[in-house]
Structure 1
Amino acid sequence: MRSGRKYFIYDVFTEDRLAGNPLAVVVEANGLNTASMQAIAREFNLSETAFVLPPKTPTHKAKVRIFTPDYEMPFAGHPTVGTAIALTEMAQDSDLAGIFVLEENIGLVRCAVNKIGNSLFAEFDLPKLPEPLPLAASSDAVAAALGLSPHEIGFENHRVSLWSAGVPYITVPVADTKVAARVRFDNEAWFTFSPRKSDSAVASAYVYCRETVGHDNAFHARMIVPGSPSYEDPATGSAAAAFAGAIMQFDKPTDGVSRFWIEQGIEMGRPSKIRLELDVAGGNLVAARIGGHAVRVAEGAIFA
C-alpha cells in the first residue's frame, strides 16, 4: 500500500485545541491537479483546506493554494497563518524566528513566525490593502436579512459598508454583544442585495460591535457565509483584513502603528482571537498585518 499524502489539522487563531478555526494542510500536494484539490477539500469539508506546493521562485517557502469545499480562494487568513506555522514546525524551527514568503493566488504573502508563550504565533503582511466597494443596500434591508431591527444597526459613527482586501465583506456594526448574539441569517433576503464576487459567491456578512467578552479585545465579531445552507465561520482573517478599511474610515487611527485584538467564534463555542495591526502615515493606511496562534490537533495521510 502506498504511503499517501501527509496532512495536518490545525486549530487557527487560538492557543487551545478544539477552539478557533480548523484547517487542513496537505503538505505533499505536488502532482495534484485543481479538480483533485477541490475533491480533497470537499472530503475534509472544513471551511478551507490549504495545499502546499513547490514555490515558483526558489527563495520563497512554498506555493499555497486554498480551497473551500466548493471553490478556490485567492487568499484567506486562517489558512495562511496555519500553513505558515505548519511549515515552521515541519522544519523544526519552532524555537527560532522565521520570516519567509508564501506564493498565493492573490500574490506574494510575507509571513513571520515566532514562539509566543507555549505555541507558535504567525503574522502576515496583507498582500492587498482594503478598498471600499459600492453597496446599494439600505441599513434597513441589511437589518432585515440579519433578523434585527433597524435601530440595532450602527453605533457611534459606524455604518454598514462594503470592503475587500481580496475577498469582499459587508461590514455591519451593531449595538452590542447581545444584538450580535441574536443575529438570524436570512439567505434569501441577503441574496437580494449582496454583490457577487467573480466566482459567483455572494459577499459575506461581518457583524461587529465594540463591546467585547474579553477585556483585552477591541472588537467582537461574527462572520456568516451565505449559501445553501449558510454557515458561520469561527475566525476569519480575510474579513479582519477587509474590516481594516472600516476602522480607517470610521475610527481614523492616528499616525503610527495601531493594534487591535478581534474576538470571534464565541457564539459557536469556538472562541478565537485575531490580531490586526495598522500602519498609518499621513492619515492613510500604508500597511497592515494579520496575526494569530495555531495548534496542531491531528495528522495523517490521505490516499488521493
Structure 2
Amino acid sequence: MPRRFVTLDVFTDTALTGNPLAVVLDAEGLDTAAMQALAAEFNLSETVFVLPPEASRHRARMRIFTPTSELPFAGHPTLGTAILLALRDQRAGLADAMAFGLEASLGTLACVVEPGDGRGTGRFKMPVLPEYLGEGPETSLVAAALGLEPGEIGFARHVPSRHRAGPAFLFVPLASQAALDRARMVAAALGDLGPPAALYCYTLDAEEVGHRYQARMFAPHIGVPEDPATGSAAAAFAGVMMQFEPLGDGEHDIVLRQGVAMGRPSTIGVQLVIDAGALRSVEISGAAVLVSEGTLLV
C-alpha cells in the first residue's frame, strides 16, 4: 500500500541545515524487517515510523531506526515527529500551541509544540533521568581513537565519562575548538575503548558565554559515521553537567551546537531542574522545518 512520508531538518529553523529526519506516517502493517529496510533506504541517521498509540490519551507511538538498528529513543526523531504532527493538527484547525504524549520504547515523552508556517518549535521532557555508567577509558586510549594527543583530552574538571538516557555514550571533553575540529574516528583503535558506544566529543563554545558547548558525535557501530544533532546525547549530557559542573538548585539552561564541522549547524537546548542537590528533570528543546513530502510505493 502507498505510505506517506515527510522529511524535516531538525534542531534548526533553516532548511538544509540541522539533522535530516524521515518520518513514515502510515506505518501500520510494516514489520520490523520492513522498517529496517526502509530506514536503510532513506540512509539518514534516523527514520521514524508513526503508529497508533497504545494509550488513547497519547498522540502516537514511534519506532525509531538508524540504517542498521532500532533505538529505544532518540532526540531529533522525537522533536521532529512532534513538530510534524502538530503541523498536521494545525492544518486541521486545532490549537496553535499543543501538548501531547509520544510513546517510545523508552517511555512516554511529554511534548509541547508551537507550530508555524511549515516549521515549528518544541520541547519534550525525558521520561528517565541520565544514568552514570562509569569512568571513561584511559586518556591515551581515547586520544588514539580520535587521532588526537593525550594532552588535548579534558578541560577544567571534565574528564571522559560514560552516561546514558536511552542509548549509551562515551563523553569526551576536548581542550580546544581546534582539537574538536581535528577529531576523527581511528577504526583500528576503537576496540581499545571497551564496549561499543557512541563517542560524543565536546568543548567550550568559544563564541558564547555561560553553559554553551560545541560538540561532535560519532557512532559508526550503528551506521552513523557522524551525526549533525543528537538529542539523546544532549539528554545524557545533563548527567555530565551534574558530574563536573558546580550547579546549584534551580533551572539551568545549556546550549549545545553540533554539526558545524559537517556544514549542518544545529542548536539543541537542554534544561535541567535541580532540587535539594539532585537532578529532578531534563527537557530538550529546538526547532524543525519541513523539507519534503512524498509517497512510498513499497
Say yes or no: TM over 0.5.
Answer: yes
Q: Distance in 2 between matches of 1:118 and 1:37?
A: 26
Match in the other structure for 2:249:
255
Match in the other structure for 2:133:
133
Match in the other structure for 1:54:
52
Does residue 1:207 correspond to 2:201, yes or no? yes
Structure with bigger helix share is 2
- Give a deviation string over 1:9-41, Cα, whole Å, max 9, x none: 000000110000000000111111111111111
The AA in structure 2 aligned to 1:167 is P
Aligned residue among 252, 269, 275 for 1:281? 275
Q: CA 1:15 to 1:228, structure 2 compared with 1: closer, same or farther past 3 Å?
A: closer
* Mapped contact 1:6–1:300 kept (Cα < 8 A): yes
- Give a deviation string over 1:43-78, Cα, whole Å, max 9, x none: 111110000000111111001000011110000000
Aligned to 1:15, what secondary structure does the other structure show?
coil
Q: Distance in 2 between matches of 1:150 and 1:101?
A: 44
Superposition map of 1:261-272 within 5 A? 261-272=255-266
Does residue 1:237 correspond to 2:231, yes or no? yes
The AA in structure 2 aligned to 1:176 is S
* Mapped contact 2:86–2:114 kept (Cα < 8 A): no
Q: Distance in 1 between matches of 2:46 and 2:8?
A: 11
Match in the other structure for 2:104:
104
Superposition map of 1:8-157 within 5 A? 8-92=6-90, 96-115=96-115, 119-135=119-135, 137-157=137-157
Q: Distance in 1 between matches of 2:233 and 2:292?
A: 26
Question: Identity over the aligned pairs, expressed in percent?
Answer: 46
Match in the other structure for 1:181:
181
Q: Distance in 1 between matches of 2:118 and 2:83?
A: 13
Q: CA 1:46 to 1:230, structure 2 compared with 1: closer, same or farther past 3 Å?
A: closer
Q: State the aligned residue count.
A: 296
Deviation at 1:110, TM superposition (A): 0.8
RMSD across aligned C-alpha pairs, in angstroms?
1.9
Deviation at 1:91, TM superposition (A): 1.1
Q: CA 1:243 to 1:94, structure 2 compared with 1: closer, same or farther past 3 Å?
A: farther
Structure 2: 5+ residue runs without aligned partners? none
Aligned to 1:41, what secondary structure does the other structure show?
helix
* Mapped contact 1:95–1:114 kept (Cα < 8 A): no
* Mapped contact 1:187–1:230 kept (Cα < 8 A): no
Does residue 1:296 correspond to 2:264, yes or no? no
Deviation at 1:114, TM superposition (A): 1.7
The AA in structure 2 aligned to 1:180 is L
Deviation at 1:230, TM superposition (A): 6.0
Does residue 1:218 correspond to 2:212, yes or no? yes
* Mapped contact 1:252–1:283 kept (Cα < 8 A): no
Aligned to 2:56, what secondary structure does the other structure show?
coil
Q: Distance in 2 between matches of 1:36 and 1:230?
A: 20
The AA in structure 1 aligned to 2:238 is A
Q: Distance in 1 between matches of 2:12 and 2:136?
A: 36
- Give a deviation string over 1:219-247, Cα, whole Å, max 9, x none: 11000113397611000000111111111
Relative to the length of structure 2, the TM-score reads 0.94
- Give a deviation string over 1:240-289, Cα, whole Å, max 9, x none: 11111111111131111101111000000000000000000011111000
Structure 1: 5+ residue runs without aligned partners? 196-201
Aligned to 1:134, what secondary structure does the other structure show?
strand
